[in-house]
Amino acid sequence: MEFTGKDFENFKIHLRKAEQVLKSTRPTANDLFFGIDFVMKKALDNFDADIAKKYALKAANEYADWSAEMCRQIGEHGNNLIKNNQNILTHCNAGALACVDFGTALSPIRIAHYSKKNIFVYVDETRPRNQGASLTAWELAQEKINHAIIADNAAGHFMKRGKIDMVIVGADRIAMNGDVANKIGTYEKAVLAKENNVTFYVAAPSSTFDISAKTGEDIPIEERSEDEILYMHGMDEKGNINKFRISPKESTAKNPAFDVTPAKYITGIITERGVIKPTKEEIERFVGGKIIQQPL
Amino acid sequence: MEFTGKDFENFKIHLRKAEQVLKSTRPTANDLFFGIDFVMKKALDNFDADIAKKYALKAANEYADWSAEMCRQIGEHGNNLIKNNQNILTHCNAGALACVDFGTALSPIRIAHYSKKNIFVYVDETRPRNQGASLTAWELAQEKINHAIIADNAAGHFMKRGKIDMVIVGADRIAMNGDVANKIGTYEKAVLAKENNVTFYVAAPSSTFDISAKTGEDIPIEERSEDEILYMHGMDEKGNINKFRISPKESTAKNPAFDVTPAKYITGIITERGVIKPTKEEIERFVGGKIIQQPL
């Protein structure tokens, strides 16, 4: 659709529609809403559709650059927690493919590797969407970081045997009491980490904190299609990606895409401004009364 | 190979070879060794190859019938623990496909269903071999028992939300202190059950107890091919089973097939002679100084 300066009211209606469509795609991750709000504000702070479009594009680019820099800073702070010869477990993909350039959970791992630390990464396969086995393993392979994919079921076994020194995961949304919503299975790994005295860190920029969520109970959990459990995608011998059924045709599935990890299982949250404890006091001080940091 | 009475010494060598081959297939499950020892003893208690062969076959059939009856009794005792309208989680396949007719973990579920109790079964997919999603879901579907397959990652989430009332799993080997070796991931579910005050039962006949294993540390854990993680099998649209790669070609995997759940996470062990506590005292009284019960 083309809009001119005179059509600015229609353009705003068009923008609001786009905003609604984008925001309705996923309910759980806070940064989706933050990013859209940021671009919307920059676009609507104008009185001319052509200028608004330019500002929207400029804002989106600014946002991407800001996000990459936040993630790099998370990596620097997180790297201080990683010792030489450590084995790190991660769950899902919180890397460059999820964020920009550095990622959140993968940023400390990346920077530890750039600093010549000898590390080994246990990559949770992360059923049902296999983000670990496909995306995270691929990113680590590109960086030549030593790693092995494990079944999500095996993480506890390796922790109990002392094979895992720390866990770093990303976050989709963090409540003001330090409860963290993240990919389904994160809660399981956090409970197992605590049980085995393994430190458990969440890596996330300030834009992931949601001051409207007092606790994890206020975070909506996306329920996704059961087909993600009943079917799977994989590459055949010819390199074609195919969908195939991995369960009986009479069976159904339940597929919550995220879970909430209560703050008590979390050692610390690695942000762009340092590592903070998952407590109400520390998070309130961190967000400083503001909803979130403004990009640059 | 054909043997006559005069060749009994050669037949015994032949039998010992077969015994070694069968025993070397899997190191973790105790019942494999128990079953082979039972048939071997019945065969070798003879002085003639032809008679020995007949006795071996007879013993194998006796063993299967005995095993099915043990499992049925496990089901009766386990059914007493299941209330109406309960939601039960199970991990892996400990059903008719793993044992005979009733299964171990699935036997209480089956008998509760036959008793017209309204139950719902959460079926852990059980990566990497998907025994839950394929075998257990299929068995439950055949019995028309209400169930849903879930990602192994989601079990903790459902427990935290109060959706799961009890867990019943099978066992590959039980140590004399009550530690239980079972399919990888069992330990994770047991820790999560304890954390969420969900009762956690292990269903196993007396032949699963190993008096030579003082604790779980004495139980060998089978490490299996990494291909089980890196590839997957599924059915395409034409109904053909194919192998697919589900991970980057540069990535490796680690694949322990079993884990050990310490006794402290286990509410009780459902045996053919009732439910016992996973303590040294109670297990010693249960096995009564003998290695295991003799079939029939």
Q: Is A42 left (phi over 0), alpha (psi -120 to 50) or beta?
A: alpha
Output the CA–CA distances (angstroms, integers) from residue B40 to B22, B64, B173, in the order listed. 12, 15, 21
Residue B101 bears catalytic tag: no
Is the distance from CB of A122 to CB of A150 less than 8 angstroms?
Answer: yes
CB contact under 8 A, B153 and A152: yes
CA dihedral B240, B246, B252, B255 (to 10 degrees): -60
| Bridge-based pairing state of the strands B86-90 and B166-169 | parallel
- Residue in chain A lying closest to B242 (CA): A236
The domain limits of chain A are 70-222+257-287
Q: What's the CA gap between B37 and B21, in Å, rounded? A: 13
Residue contact B185–A156, C-beta within 8 A = yes
CB pair distance less than 8 Å for A247 and B133: yes
> What is the pLDDT at residue B145?
98
Interface with chain A: mutation pick from B28, B130, B188, highest number of A CBs within 10 Å: B188
> Which residues, other chains included, contact B268 with Cβ-Cβ below 8 Å and sequence gap of 6+?
B81, B199, B201, B202, B275, B276, B277, B278
Is residue B132 less than 8 Å (CB to CB) from chain A?
A: no
Taking the Cβ of residue B263 and every Cβ of chain A, the question of whether any pair is shorter than 8 Å is answered with no
Query: So what's the pLDDT on residue A296?
Result: 41
Chain A contacts in chain B segment 229-258 (CB below 8 A): 229-236, 242, 244-248, 250-256
pLDDT band, very low/low/confident/very high, at A8 (cuts 50, 70, 90): confident
Annotate B258-285 with three-state secondary structure. Answer: EEEECHHHCCEEEECCEEECCCHHHHHH
Average pLDDT over residues B56-60: 93
CATH 3.40.50.10470 is held by the domain B70-222+257-287: yes
Residue type, A52: A
User: What string of DSSP letters covers A213-272?
Assistant: -SSGGGS---B--THHHHEEEEE-TTS-EEEEE-S-TT-EE--B-EEEE-GGG-SEEEET
Instruction: Locate A251 and state its tokens.
Output: 């069976």
Q: For residue B296, which of B63, B17, B39 has the smallest C-alpha distance?
A: B63
Contacts of B150 in chain A (CB under 8 A): 229, 253-255
Distance from CA of B55 to the nearest CA of A (A): 39
Beta strands B274-276 and B268-271: pairing type?
A: antiparallel
CA–CA gap between residue A197 and residue A270 (Å, rounded): 19
CB atoms within 10 A of CB B286: 16
Among B122, B149, B157, beta carbon nearest to A187: B157
Residue B100: predicted pLDDT: 84
Task: Give the type of residue at A179.
Answer: D
pLDDT digits (tens, 9 = 90+) for B151-207: 999 999 999 999 999 999 999 999 999 999 999 999 999 999 999 999 999 999 999
Q: Does B220 touch chain A (CB under 8 A)?
A: no
| Residues of A annotated catalytic, as ranges | 172
Residues in chain B closer than 8 A to A149 (CB atoms): 229-230, 247, 251-254
pLDDT exceeds 90 at position B290: no
Task: Tell me the pLDDT tens digit for each residue of B124-161.
Answer: 999 999 999 999 999 999 999 999 999 999 999 999 99
**Which 62-91 residues of chain B touch chain A by CB within 8 A?**
none
pLDDT per position as a tens digit, A203-235: 999 999 999 999 999 999 999 999 999 999 888
Taking an 8 Å cut-off on Cβ atoms, the answer to whether B148 and A184 are in contact is no
ipTM associated with this complex:
0.94
Q: Which of B31, B152, B172, B259 is labelled catalytic?
A: B172
Q: Which pTM value belongs to this model? A: 0.94
